[in-house]
A and B are shown apart, each in its own frame.
Chain A
């Protein structure tokens, strides 16, 4: 009897997949999340990790910033090799502005929530947009204050109910509508439960060189996921009305045409990447500001939640361009470049004599 070893050779342990920098997805992760199981925020964190990994961005070129709240805890849960800054409540935009002025070569990603953005931080949110500070600003929007027992936030829809049945009588602040009104150069809305759309929007926002506002509906499983809430997983799935199907093509890849003419609109982003918007029903033009405002207002009337790229203006100048900043980041200037020569002081002194 011939005894041949017919058992298949043990497969070699599969090396984890790496990106073009030779980094694995794990290299873009952070500490384990301490949020509630099923929290929409964790789903957004996963897509942030994926977006940066797939775009082959060096983690040290990214800085993560946040304010205070459940959402603001999340920068600890992604990109552990990037500097992080958990600032004070509602004032991350000012910190990001200062950091940008010190080093405009970094990619800034800010994570905030509806309390942090639409209540205490509303002023700084507006001024960041007004200045067009280059940052990917994600508002993880659940309509409630999740760290303090789930009171309504300023983005809660009128008529939406708390767990105990209390209804919200006040108007909601629509962060996307507000951002467009303020002249924001990139405005999108998405849903934590739609990873495909979210990752495409995140990548496009990273490729954009201005303030990119992403309002991501992120249901609070503890305080706002019940019948009667307008921001529960169930309700958002019912009312989610995507404007288009999104495809992101990074600058290092060729655009392949597999759509029929007229079916797809392509938007070129600042870094040479492209966002493909496949038509779904209506023909939506995200470069038309007043059309975007009309669409948002109509959706409110219809009880729909419009998601996708609502508005983009790739022509706008960011704050660094407006200030005509030197190419070298201020943080890298050496002492001899920072200190003007003695003649400069002498001249000022002479002017005061």
Chain B
């Protein structure tokens, strides 16, 4: 359905996710900023929904018909307070399709809003693609307690970490059991979903939410890695930069600078990234924004990797091209010598 604005669109998506349906909304540019408050609400109250952001050039209205990857950091941390969201980073039209399915599974598994960040180049230009794959795996509807399960358990605590993965159990409104109901609130709450401003309840909640991020780190789509034996340098990139990076690697090979490649497909960053960086002298983080946002996000979680991570940033509003990447890396490599 067509919402009146992004404030309402994300509210409707969360309302539907809370009430037990799979829901999503999509936006670009200022729309993702408008969704900020509800994004934090969804994180804090643990409601599944999916939000697509087709990144265009900001800040503000920016270059509304041009492409960028500059919403990465703000989306990963969208909203006030300590907030972190799982983010999927498709690198092709086909992967947009696959990750749309995966986003719904992850949202219901992790019980939180899941973001899919694509960009205007991928989202609005014509692309060649193999036919999309029909899903072979069943849907993952997550930890939902039925009436029968409630009868066996005799009740439940909405925000209790029963399984040690940080993910609690929920019930769907309308479940016919006197103990099924709980109260969803954006204010502080304890394991039983009751209002609480007690420090211990707040710390427990925030630590458990962090545990969910650690669970996400393990179950989100892994990076695609192509390691070149003997290569001293590596490249990390994501999204629509993939095609330019592939071509650039051929150019670098010709320039006797073979480079391994890790294409990141999700946030939070996983252990594979750490291993990749550790197995090279230098790793170039190629991205389409000014502030080297991905490089900063990797350092935020793994500060020890900082000395090896060299940013290659492209922010002209036009899609990144292979020659730009090759020239940037060759220049920086020569500076090192």
Contacts and interface: CB of A to CB of B under 8 A. Distances in A.
B31 interface: no
Given A98-B13, A99-B15, A91 B174 contact: no
B30 interface: no
A338 B22 contact: yes
A99 B131 contact: no
Given A87-B186, A103-B173, A98 B14 contact: yes
Contacts of A149: none
Contacts of B13: 98
Nearest to B5: A123
A91 B19 contact: no
A257 interface: no
Interface residues of B, number: 49
B11 interface: yes
Given A331-B20, A339-B135, A87 B181 contact: no
Given A99-B15, A103-B174, A123-B5, A87 B41 contact: yes
A80 B182 CA distance: 8
Given A60-B180, A103-B173, A95 B12 contact: yes
A98 B141 contact: no
A96 B41 CA distance: 15
A59 B178 CA distance: 8
Nearest to B178: A81
A103 B20 CA distance: 8
A13 B38 CA distance: 50
B186 to A, nearest CB: 6
A301 interface: no
B276 interface: no
A62 to B, nearest CB: 9
Nearest to A30: B183
Interface string A322-339: 010000011110010011
A140 B174 CA distance: 26
A342 interface: yes
Contacts of B41: 87-88
A60 B174 CA distance: 5
21 contacts: A83-B180, A84-B185, A86-B186, A87-B41, A87-B186, A88-B11, A88-B38, A88-B186, A91-B38, A94-B11, A94-B15, A96-B15, A102-B15, A103-B21, A106-B173, A106-B174, A123-B4, A329-B21, A330-B16, A335-B141, A349-B131
Interface of A: 31, 58-61, 63, 75-76, 80-88, 91, 93-103, 105-106, 123-124, 127, 323, 329-332, 335, 338-339, 342, 345-346, 349
